[in-house]
Structure 1
Amino acid sequence: MDPLILGALVAVATIAVLFSGVSVATGLLIVSGLFLVLFEGMWALELMPDKFFGKLNSFALLSIPMFIIMGSAISSTRAGADLYEALERWLTRVPGGLVMSNLGACALFSAMSGSSPATCAAIGKMGIPEMRKRGYPEEVAAGSIAAGGTLGILIPPSVTMIVYGIATETSIGRLFLAGVLPGLMLVGLFMVWSVYSTWRNTGLSVMSARSYSLREKLEILPRVIPFLLVIVGVLYAMYGGIATPSETAAVGALLCLLMAIVIYRMWSPKSLWVVLRDSTRESVMILFIIGAAGVFSYMLSSLFITQSIAMWISDLDVNRWVLLGAVNVFLLIAGFFLPPVAVILMAAPILLPIILAADFDPYWFAVILTINMEIGLISPPVGLNLYVISSIAPDIKLKTILKGSMPYVGCMVLAIVILCVFPGIATWLPDLVMGPVR
């Protein structure tokens, strides 16, 4: 059978299995086993365990559970509330300052926790009621938190970037650096839109709020700054050549646990058990998907599907930007239905040779891919962040939340366009710190 036709059958079968309700990892194993048996015989099943565990035989994978523990420790405390309150006290007299405080808190908290739903819940529980009380439009209140929660998969340290690095065998440290400036650019775009939308609807009359004294502004900082220093310390250790990403993640996880115990008095063994239990559950889920994706990639390569798709696309006489546009549409659609980790593990090994053949930078492309995944987090039908916002603000209609999030999707699309015009936004910092890619 022609490999391209076989690839189409694999795609249809994968979509059908995943939509049946089974987990992503189980679905990938079912599809892989089915096609290997059909086209290579029962003996092919003997290789599946070897490919599954071989994909997990990487020291870099240790950073995933460590960063997850780090984020879980932060999410289990009042760090999100304190971070929000600190920014709110400093920006309260700035026109549109409250919505800027929420977006800044989302950016920082999502970077610390690495969890989009946790960010929406932690910042949204305080930010949304406060914005509504001061007269901010419901669309801005809900949409800004939903969009702000997505920033954690781009701003380092990012588990999504680690997964991309493992799937494509690219430098995790360089990927982290590539996400810094685009992440800050997205925060800026979100803030500009939020302030403009508030001004258009209310004339910024909502800016009048309580004034805080300098003492009140300073007294909240000791509870926030230590966590921010951990993030800075982790990145410094990584790029200063002091430790590997896995080692810095382990130190960061230990420090966050200790600070959660000391600053927020999380002494109870039960509380610590919840942190470790939830971290283990999420880590196993991600590692299970990584192992299953390794089997899935082996099946595609063994049946010559990956190579045929790459050859077919490379033979197309189309402009490379048209090709990139088609890739973005594919990623956008995939992100509507699947979590970012699954999309990256399934698509990155196939897309990377195409991107390299078209002379695009793989680290720049990682940023483009990640922003696409962010769009999926606030877009139906899955749109996880939309449902998190709906659960913490049930009196706001889902239609209103969706309406409020759509302009931020536009901001993300604009960010992709800007990155295409000025790719140096993603590549300048990695090249500066680590030198040009050879």
Structure 2
Amino acid sequence: MDPLLLGALVAVFTIFVLFSGVSVAVGLLIVSAGFLIVFDGMRSLELMPEILFGKLDNFALLSIPMFIIMGASIASTRAGADLYEALERWLTRVPGGLVISNLGACALFAAMSGSSPATCAAIGKMGIPEMRKRGYPDGVAAGSIAAGGTLGILIPPSVTMIVYGIATETSIGRLFLAGVFPGLLLVALFMAWSLYSTWRTGDANVLSSTTYTWRQRFEVLPRVLPFIAIILGVLYAMYGGIATPSETAAVGALLCLVIAIVIYKLWNPKDLWVVLRDSTKESVMILFIIAAAGVFSYMLSSLFITQSIAEWIGTLEVNRWVLMGVINLFLLVAGFFLPPVAVILMAAPILLPIITTAGFDPIWFAVILTINMEIGLISPPVGLNLYVINGIAPDISLKTILMGSLPFVACMVIAIILLCLFPGIATWLPNAVMGTSV
């Protein structure tokens, strides 16, 4: 059978299996085993266990559970509430400052936890009721938190960036640095839209009747500054050549646990067990998907599907930006239905040779891909962040949350366009800190 036709057949069956309700990892293994048996014989199954476990034989993978523990220990404390309260005290008298406080808190908590759902839950529990109490529309209150939570997969340390780096054998350090300025760009665009929206409706003039003294503003800072210091310390150790990403993640996880125990009194063994249990579950899920995606990639390569697709696209007489537009559309649609980790592991190995042949920087492309995944987090039918917000504020309908999130989707599209026009937004910092990649 023609490899391109076979590739289309694999795509149809993969979509069918994943939509059947099985987990992503199991679905990928079912599809891989089925096509290998049919087109390569039973003997191909002998290699599956070796490929499955061999994909996990990577020292860089140790950073994933460590960063997850780091985020879980932060999410299990009042760090999110303290972060929100600190910003709210400083910006309470600024017109529209409450929305800025929420988005700023989302950005900082995302940098500390690396998790979008955790960011939505931690900041949303405090921010949404307060914004509604001040008279902000439900759409603005819910949409700003849902969008702000997506920053968790872009602003370093980011688990999705680690997964992309492993899948494409790209420097994780460069990927982390590449997410800094685009992350700040998104924060600025989110804030600009929120200020415009509240100004247009007159809600920016709704100021809090509560005033805070300078003492009250400073007294909350010692609770959150240690966490921020850890994040900065982790990044400094990584980029200062002191330690590898896995080593810095381990130290960061330990320090976050210590601070959670000392500052937030998280010394109850049951609470610590919950942190470790949830971190283990999430880590195993991600690592299982990585292993299964390795088998899936082997199947595509063994049947010459990957090579044929890359060769076919290379022969197309189209502008490279038209090609990038098609790739973005594909990623956008895939992000509507699949979690970011699954999309990255399935698509990145296929797309990498295509984008490099077209002359695009793989580090820059990682940021473009991640922003597409962020859009998927606040878009139906999956839209994980939408359901997290609905769980926090069940009296706000999913339709209202979705409509409030749509302007932030437009902000992300604008960010992608700006990154295409000015790729240095993503590539300048990695090149400045780590030298120009070859």
User: Do these two structures clear the TM 0.5 threshold for a shared fold by scoring above it?
Assistant: yes
Report what 1:291 is aligned to: 291
Q: In structure 1, what residue type is equivalent to 2:134?
A: R
Report what 2:22 is aligned to: 22
Q: How do residues 22-421 of structure 1 correspond to structure 2 at under 5 angstroms?
A: 22-421=22-421
Q: Distance in 2 between matches of 1:320 and 1:30?
A: 35
Q: In structure 1, what residue type is equivalent to 2:67?
A: F
Q: Distance in 1 between matches of 2:395 and 2:35?
A: 48
Contact 1:293 / 1:345 at 8 angstroms: preserved in 2?
A: yes
Q: In structure 2, what residue type is equivalent to 1:30?
A: I
The sequence identity of aligned pairs, in percent, is 81
Q: In structure 2, what residue type is equivalent to 1:37?
A: I
Specify every segment of 5 or more residues in structure 2 that has no aligned partner in the other structure, as ranges. Answer: none
Q: Which deviations, in whole Å up to 9, do the C-alpha atoms of 1:272-304 show, x marking residues without a partner? A: 111000000000000000000000000000000
The normalised TM-score by structure 1 is 0.99
Give the superposition deviation at 1:203.
Answer: 5.0
Contact 2:135 / 2:203 at 8 angstroms: preserved in 1?
A: no
Q: Which deviations, in whole Å up to 9, do the C-alpha atoms of 1:59-81 show, x marking residues without a partner? A: 00000000000000000000000
Q: Distance in 1 between matches of 2:44 and 2:293?
A: 16
Moved over 4 A (4+): none
Q: Distance in 1 between matches of 2:90 and 2:75?
A: 23
Contact 1:28 / 1:296 at 8 angstroms: preserved in 2?
A: yes
Report what 1:428 is aligned to: 428
Contact 2:55 / 2:290 at 8 angstroms: preserved in 1?
A: yes
Secondary structure of 1:155 counterpart? coil
Contact 1:91 / 1:98 at 8 angstroms: preserved in 2?
A: yes
Q: Distance in 2 between matches of 1:219 and 1:434?
A: 38
Give the superposition deviation at 1:207.
Answer: 2.8
Q: In structure 1, what residue type is equivalent to 2:370?
A: T
Secondary structure of 2:395 counterpart? coil
Give the superposition deviation at 1:114.
Answer: 1.3
Give the superposition deviation at 1:168.
Answer: 0.1
Q: Distance in 1 between matches of 2:387 and 2:201?
A: 25
Give the superposition deviation at 1:138.
Answer: 1.1
Contact 1:137 / 1:201 at 8 angstroms: preserved in 2?
A: no
Q: In structure 2, what residue type is equivalent to 1:259?
A: I
Contact 1:174 / 1:363 at 8 angstroms: preserved in 2?
A: yes
Give the superposition deviation at 1:117.
Answer: 1.1
Q: In structure 2, what residue type is equivalent to 1:300?
A: L
Paired residue total: 438
Q: In structure 2, what residue type is equivalent to 1:134?
A: R
Q: Distance in 1 between matches of 2:340 and 2:44?
A: 29
Give the superposition deviation at 1:98.
Answer: 0.4
Q: Which deviations, in whole Å up to 9, do the C-alpha atoms of 1:244-267 show, x marking residues without a partner? A: 000000000000000000000011
- TM-aligned CA distance change 1:358 to 1:209, over 3 Å: farther
Q: Distance in 1 between matches of 2:53 and 2:411?
A: 40
Q: Distance in 2 between matches of 1:94 and 1:240?
A: 38
Q: Distance in 2 between matches of 1:185 and 1:89?
A: 24
Q: In structure 2, what residue type is equivalent to 1:114?
A: G
Give the superposition deviation at 1:95.
Answer: 1.3
Specify every segment of 5 or more residues in structure 1 that has no aligned partner in the other structure, as ranges. Answer: none
Give the superposition deviation at 1:206.
Answer: 1.1
Q: In structure 2, what residue type is equivalent to 1:184?
A: L
Secondary structure of 2:98 counterpart? helix
- TM-aligned CA distance change 1:224 to 1:16, over 3 Å: same
Contact 2:136 / 2:203 at 8 angstroms: preserved in 1?
A: no
Q: Distance in 2 between matches of 1:286 and 1:388?
A: 20
Q: In structure 2, what residue type is equivalent to 1:351?
A: L
Q: In structure 1, what residue type is equivalent to 2:199?
A: W
Secondary structure of 1:204 counterpart? helix
Q: Distance in 2 between matches of 1:318 and 1:271?
A: 56
Q: Distance in 1 between matches of 2:254 and 2:276?
A: 12
Q: Distance in 2 between matches of 1:415 and 1:358?
A: 21
Give the superposition deviation at 1:209.
Answer: 3.6
* Higher mean displacement: 86-95 or 347-356: 86-95
Give the superposition deviation at 1:210.
Answer: 1.7
Q: Distance in 2 between matches of 1:270 and 1:396?
A: 33
Give the superposition deviation at 1:398.
Answer: 1.1
Give the superposition deviation at 1:39.
Answer: 0.5
Q: Which deviations, in whole Å up to 9, do the C-alpha atoms of 1:178-215 show, x marking residues without a partner? A: 00000000000000001110111125221344221100
Contact 2:96 / 2:203 at 8 angstroms: preserved in 1?
A: no
Q: Distance in 2 between matches of 1:327 and 1:400?
A: 30
Q: Distance in 2 between matches of 1:45 and 1:360?
A: 36
Q: In structure 1, what residue type is equivalent to 2:230?
A: V
The normalised TM-score by structure 2 is 0.99
RMSD: 0.6
